[in-house]
């Protein structure tokens, strides 16, 4: 009887040992699998970090590589159409905001003051540049032909464009209110007046009504009134850098039309 009991206990211990050994091996396999999974996830995240690079743009751009020079030689040079008010600058005249709405005037001193005549009355316009506009214009003028297309009156738009280009001649072609079409209270801009080739032209404008006829050629940007920390123009540079290499800007902008910079 005693021998049978001892044999039973020995068998039980052996069975328990096998069970524990099996569970332990299972836990080891599970731990190994989790470590491998963590390693794969970490590698993917690390790969993303490696792929994310900080790109810095300066007024004097570095030369392109031979490969990039060849690629860009295969496509047409693009035309960038630029709006003025609330896109590149904001202005008010003689204490009254030019734009409608409850937007406050900037607290800073204007970057420049214009003296023009509107409806036979002398007017002083106080103009504030959007942050980083000088760097933006300097960089994109090396990539594209720049064209001003504003819904403002010519006497005002000419004076603003002259100040922005500061004798550099980068804003030679200009279109004004008389080139726009007023539809439902919004000035529509026909960029085909600038170029019939819509594969190589795009417009930067804060007003959706301005480019309603050309949504696949538009880069929307938030209206700017006074925010000193605004970086919208800087944020656009990587996109614009890429656009100069494509054969048709619409292939990119049609997929990016919901983004407002």
Residue 169 per-residue DSSP state: -
- Which of the following is catalytic: 83, 134, 190, 230? 83
- Which of the following is catalytic: 11, 85, 162, 241? 85
Active site residue 83: yes
Phi-psi region of 95 (alpha: psi -120 to 50; beta: other; left: phi over 0): left
Whether the CB-CB separation of 207 and 214 falls below 8 Å is answered with no
Both tokens assigned to 58: 């300066």
Angle at which helix 154-165 crosses helix 133-140, to 10 degrees, equals 80
Strands 121-129 and 89-93: antiparallel
The residue assigned the tokens 């940007």 is 221
DSSP states of 74-141 = TSPPPEEEE--BTTTEEEEETTEESS-SSPPPPSSPPSEEEEEEETTEEEEEEEEEPTTHHHHHHHHT
Active site residue 134: no
CA–CA dist 181, 4 (Å, integer) = 106
CA–CA dist 59, 180 (Å, integer) = 32
Please identify every residue annotated as catalytic: 83, 85
């Amino acid at each position: 009887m005693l021998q049978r009991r001892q044999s039973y206990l020995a068998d039980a211990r052996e069975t328990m040992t096998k069970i524990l050994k099996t569970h332990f091996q299972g836990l080891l396999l599970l731990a190994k699998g989790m470590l491998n999974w963590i390693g794969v996830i970490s590698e993917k995240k690390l790969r993303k970090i490696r792929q994310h690079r900080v790109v810095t743009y300066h007024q004097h751009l570095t030369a392109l590589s031979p490969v990039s020079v060849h690629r860009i030689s295969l496509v047409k040079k693009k035309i960038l159409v630029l709006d003025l008010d609330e896109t590149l600058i904001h202005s008010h005249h003689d204490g009254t905001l030019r734009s409608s709405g409850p937007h406050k005037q900037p607290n800073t001193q204007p970057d420049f003051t214009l003296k023009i005549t509107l409806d036979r009355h002398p007017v002083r316009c106080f103009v504030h540049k959007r942050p980083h506009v000088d760097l933006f214009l300097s960089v994109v003028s090396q990539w594209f032909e720049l064209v001003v297309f504003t819904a403002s009156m010519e006497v005002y738009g000419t004076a603003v464009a002259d100040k922005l280009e500061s004798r550099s001649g980068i804003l030679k072609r200009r279109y004004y209110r008389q080139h726009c079409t007023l539809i439902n209270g919004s000035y529509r801009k026909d960029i085909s007046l600038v170029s019939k080739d819509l594969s190589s032209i795009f417009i930067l404008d804060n007003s959706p009504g301005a480019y309603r006829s050309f949504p696949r050629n538009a880069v929307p940007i938030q209206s700017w009134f006074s925010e000193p920390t605004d970086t919208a123009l800087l944020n656009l540079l990587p996109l614009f850098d890429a656009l100069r290499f494509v054969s048709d800007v619409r292939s990119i902008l049609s997929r990016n039309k919901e983004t407002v910079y």
